[in-house]
A and B are shown apart, each in its own frame.
Chain A
Amino acid sequence: MIFWDFFGLCMANGGNSHTGGVGCGRCQFLSRWRLARNRVVVRARKHLSVSSDHGGASPGFFDRLRAFYLRSDAAKGYVLLSPVMLTMIALLAAPLILLVLYSFWTQVGLKVDTNWTGDRYRELIEKQAYVDIFWRSIQMSGLVTLVTVGLAYPMAYFVAFGVKKNKFIWLILLTIPFWTSYLLRAFSWKIILGYNGVINSGLISLGAIQEPLSFLLYNQTAVVITLAHAYAAFAILPIYVSLEKIDRTLLEAAADLGDGAWARFWRVTFPLSLPGVIGAAVLIFVPTTGDYVTPALVGGPTGQMIANLIQIQFLKIGDWPLGSALAISAMAGVAILVMLFATALQLAVRRIR
């Protein structure tokens, strides 16, 4: 019985010389597909009350597909999303998967030995210099985040609560740096802090110093200042958005119940703006730990960060697996720290409330 059903379906399908058996994969697939398709078509017909108007012949496959497509919101959504999704899978997901694979391989001369090994990670942990640079990057980025968010908060507060007219102009002024060349903004600090730079030559021509100050450029402080400046505008928008969303009647209620200005701020405004603060902190901390341009320009030997190490592995030494392992462990480390930070902050706020 079953055999003939399958056989009949196969014959009806193409009429070719295929003689499928019970175990024939193609026949099983075809029959299941047909059953599913018929069910869909019946449902689609009921839904749209599409009658077959092909002079008695059953509607073609594409008509049915079309009926299904028109009926399903999700299908339309997925079809529209597919160009973006495919682009992102090809250009983001696939490369990241390859990066993970590479970190478990070995560089042999110009080729890569694809036997699995955890040696690259072992190498990273055993070499103290790598661990040191990782922690140095984390510390510097942490400091940059603290400074940037600390400075951005009052600014965002001012725009959200203090500006009544032309708020739009303030917002544009604060977003312009976000879009303009990061390379040039970092570069401007190099000419400011340089040995013959703006500060040194300015102070000398004012007569304040005799010799140029050599501690300005090529150290960690220079990196922190440059990064804090380059990312200054990034922190404002998330904080501003969360401040703007706060219901002003809550503040009035707190005032009516006898809270002073500071108490209102700490018990109402600040906790409610915290999602913006966390967002801003993550938005600064994550890219700055992986920053390449600033340490390369103003860091000098002591101000190098993890990205400079990765770049050397990829473009100078040519040990891609080791570079990949560096990148993966840095990303994982940063992700863990960010999660810990966000959780800790939320717990702290629950305590304030």
Chain B
Amino acid sequence: MSAKPAHAPARMGDPGSGLKLFAIAYLIFIYGPVLFLPLFSFNDSIFVAFPLTSFTTKWYEQAFADEKMIGALISSLQVGGIVAVTSTILGMFGAKAVTRYQIPGQGLITATIMLPLFIPEIILGISLLILINSVGISLSLITVTIGHIMLCTPFAMAVLSSRLHGFDRSLEEASMDLGETPWMTFWRVTFPLAAPGIVSSLLLTFIVSFDEFLLSFFLAGQEPTLPVYIWSQLRFPNKLPSVLALGALILIASCVLVVVAEWVRQLGTSEQKVGV
């Protein structure tokens, strides 16, 4: 057995400092490549290449002068908003059902609901395309929204289930015993306790929908969402810098939303531990 460091009894399984270096390298590997988007979006050259020339914000101006881009952005925001609300409501029902009631076949049902997370998106895309074609609806933002609801509901349900698992069921029972109706119990007990989960579910499903490309690619028809619009611009080299600018903005916005969502979720759980 190797000699233990003398200063303190090391915790079992403690890794050495080599692993910390690895961890930092790993973070650079994850985040480094993406940083080239914002870097070159401020570079005053149509080519994405070193050496950097001079600082400019003209690619951002060019991106926002593009009316089609603004249209796609608005479409994405609308779809994202509707999807976030719908899938969170659906997820709330589902999460309450699986965390509060003994349901025969629950494992199978939950597995079915979570299935979209384990199926390649292209399969989801083409099968929805077939369905929509068979029903006879024409492709539009509505079909994109429908597809995104299917994709985002499992996320909402996962986030909300873990939140509802976390708090004490007897709080709800106490409320019922004290004579509240099920609805009032939901509004006065369940809802406030689940609120951090709801906020984080709204944010995360919004991001998933907003960043989603492949389903929209199959289901959008003539009305592109922002990622589909970006995809269509990748063919044109002279559009590249404004795509970089747009991409940088989207990445930053997503990062901020994710951090807020995770922070709200964690905030809720730590309060819970202190309070109960």
Count chain A CB atoms within 10 A of each CB in B100, B103, B234 and give the residue with the most.
Answer: B103
CB-CB nearest in chain A for B2: A261
One digit per residue, 1 when the CB lies within 8 angstroms of any chain A CB and 0 when it does not, for chain B 242-276 equals 01100100110011001100110010000000000
| Bound-complex Cα distance A94 to B133 (A) | 13
B137 within 8 A of A: no
Residues of A within 8 A of B37 (CB): 184, 187-188, 191
B109 within 8 A of A: yes
CB-CB nearest in chain B for A170: B23
A229 within 8 A of B: yes
Q: When the two chains form their complex, are residues B101 and A310 in contact, meaning their CB atoms are under 8 A apart?
A: no
Q: When the two chains form their complex, are residues A293 and B213 in contact, meaning their CB atoms are under 8 A apart?
A: yes
CB-CB nearest in chain B for A154: B22
| Bound-complex Cα distance A180 to B2 (A) | 43
Interface positions, chain B 1-33, Cβ under 8 Å from A, are: 1-2, 11-15, 19-20, 22-23, 26-27, 29-31, 33
Interface positions, chain B 113-128, Cβ under 8 Å from A, are: 113, 115-116, 118-124, 126-128
Q: When the two chains form their complex, are residues A162 and B19 in contact, meaning their CB atoms are under 8 A apart?
A: yes
| Bound-complex Cα distance A251 to B116 (A) | 38
B72 within 8 A of A: no
Q: When the two chains form their complex, are residues B251 and A310 in contact, meaning their CB atoms are under 8 A apart?
A: no
Shortest A251–chain B CB gap in Å is 4
Q: When the two chains form their complex, are residues B33 and A98 in contact, meaning their CB atoms are under 8 A apart?
A: no
Interface residue tally on B, bucketed by range: 35 or more
Whether A74 touches B251, Cβ cut-off 8 Å, given contacts A290-B121, A307-B122, is no
Interface-lining segment among B61-69, B144-152, B167-175? B144-152
Shortest A137–chain B CB gap in Å is 10
| Bound-complex Cα distance A338 to B27 (A) | 29
Question: Which of A179, A252, A286 contacts B208, CB < 8 Å?
Answer: A179
A176 within 8 A of B: yes
Whether A77 touches B211, Cβ cut-off 8 Å, given contacts A88-B150, A98-B127, A180-B258, is no
Interface-lining segment among A52-60, A124-132, A198-206? A198-206
Chain B interface SS verdict (over half): helix
Whether A73 touches B102, Cβ cut-off 8 Å, given contacts A179-B204, A187-B234, A310-B126, is yes
Q: When the two chains form their complex, are residues A77 and B90 in contact, meaning their CB atoms are under 8 A apart?
A: no
B142 within 8 A of A: no
Interface-lining segment among A5-13, A19-27, A35-43, A79-87? A79-87
Interface positions, chain A 255-306, Cβ under 8 Å from B, are: 255, 258-261, 264-265, 269, 282-283, 286-287, 289-293, 297
Shortest B199–chain A CB gap in Å is 15
Shortest A341–chain B CB gap in Å is 15
Shortest A75–chain B CB gap in Å is 9
CB-CB nearest in chain B for A84: B94
CB-CB nearest in chain B for A246: B13
Residues of B within 8 A of A74 (CB): 101-104
A320 within 8 A of B: yes
A347 within 8 A of B: no
| Bound-complex Cα distance A188 to B244 (A) | 9
Shortest A325–chain B CB gap in Å is 11
Question: Which of A196, A282, A324 contacts B47, CB < 8 Å?
Answer: A196
Q: When the two chains form their complex, are residues B97 and A182 in contact, meaning their CB atoms are under 8 A apart?
A: no
B91 within 8 A of A: yes
| Bound-complex Cα distance A259 to B13 (A) | 12
| Bound-complex Cα distance A184 to B210 (A) | 12
Residues of B within 8 A of A255 (CB): 1, 12
Known: A161-B15, A176-B259, A327-B127. 18 other contacts (CB 8 A): A76-B101, A81-B94, A84-B93, A87-B150, A91-B150, A154-B22, A161-B13, A176-B255, A181-B254, A183-B213, A188-B34, A197-B49, A198-B36, A264-B13, A286-B118, A290-B122, A292-B121, A310-B126
List of 9 A-B pairs having minimum Cβ-Cβ separation, nearest first: A290-B120, A77-B101, A201-B49, A95-B127, A80-B97, A251-B12, A84-B94, A91-B150, A77-B103
